[in-house]
A = this chain, B = another copy of it.
Amino acid sequence: MTESASPLFERVAIVGIGLIGSSLARALRQYGVARAVVGADRSEAVCAKAVELGIVDVATTEVPVAVEGADLVVLCTPVGAYAAVAETMADHLMPGAVVSDVGSVKQAVVRDVAPSLPPGVAFIPAHPVAGTEHSGPEAGFAELFQGRWCIVTPPPGAAAEAAEKVADLWRRVGSRVEVMEPARHDRILAITSHLPHLIAYTIVGTAADLEEETKSAVIQFSAGGFRDFTRIAASDPIMWRDVFLNNREAVLEVLQRFTEDLTALQRAIRWGEGDVLQERFTKTRAIRRGIIDAKQA
């Protein structure tokens, strides 16, 4: 496509230079999506590191400075910080600018960000469903979004042109884009991402509470399934705290279903009901096949 040659945005401000922020900054430059990329982070060390690694053109601890003159601002901090960031930057946004984000919850970010933005600035939330268990600017890489989904969730009445530009950005960095309502996003991600992380944090936490001798054996023999959970449970604690605090209803609802199902299996183990176990364990295979067929394995 000839469009790929010309940048979509003149100046993009990335607020929060962690795993996702730094990966996006790298991708925007590598794929020529932005003419300039400015980074903002509350940590001076992170700002220095981002410039040193060539992730951004310039970096600052001052959000108002970073967003000045930017035609796109992407919030990449933990979602619990959005409201304060939005308030801080509101008066400094360029008329016609687009504000977006990469947060793992979407209803709460609409609630927290939209009210602060001046008229003429569009808020188009997005969520790239991609990541690793590593954190920080050094962990980012431009290819992180290749072949992964990005879910764009324009609130009712959002400017269609702005939404299309944000979708284009994600396609240009290699993602497939799906547009959906914030509420539907939050329900689906509660199952595919939030509950799995909660469960992984729990089981690794249960192991962490064991007495020392058993704990070192657990580490030694972790290859039987446990180590996969430890990888998930190594994700950033602040980010995940904010996800659970901001998608409470959907997480509690699916957690309730999970607990009922687990209790049923617990009962089958206690009473030696092999047929119940076998039937449940067989049922899950169709889902795995679906994931393989959808090329998401």
Contacts and interface: CB of A to CB of B under 8 A. Distances in A.
Contact of A201 (B226, B252, B281): B281
A296 B265 CA distance: 29
Interface residues of A, number: 94
- For A80, A232, A291, the residue with the greatest tally of chain B CB atoms inside 10 Å of its CB is A291
Contacts of A229: 196, 199
A194 to B, nearest CB: 8
A113 to B, nearest CB: 19
A238 B280 CA distance: 11
Interface string A254-270: 11011101100110011
A220 B178 contact: yes
Given A269-B248, A274-B245, A221 B149 contact: yes
Interface string A136-150: 000000000000110
Interface string A164-207: 00000000000000100000100111011101111111111111
A233 interface: yes
A291 B151 CA distance: 33
Contacts of A285: 233-234, 237
Interface string A80-107: 1000000000000000000000001000
Contacts of A294: 219-220, 222
Nearest to A277: B241
Nearest to A225: B196
B287 A270 contact: no
Nearest to A258: B206
Contacts of A197: 225
B208 A192 contact: no
A286 B208 contact: yes
A226 B288 contact: no
A296 B218 CA distance: 11
Contacts of A220: 149, 178, 294, 296
B272 A248 contact: yes
B228 A277 contact: no
A136 to B, nearest CB: 13
A201 B265 contact: yes
A215 to B, nearest CB: 8
Q: Count chain B CB atoms within 10 A of each CB in A129, A209, A248, A280 and give the residue with the most.
A: A280
B210 A191 contact: yes
Contacts of A215: 287, 290
B129 A223 contact: yes
> Nearest 7 CB-CB pairs, A to B?
A193-B224, A196-B225, A237-B281, A204-B284, A192-B226, A234-B288, A219-B290
Given A228-B231, A244-B277, 8 more contacts: A129-B223, A192-B218, A192-B221, A196-B225, A202-B280, A215-B290, A231-B297, A240-B281
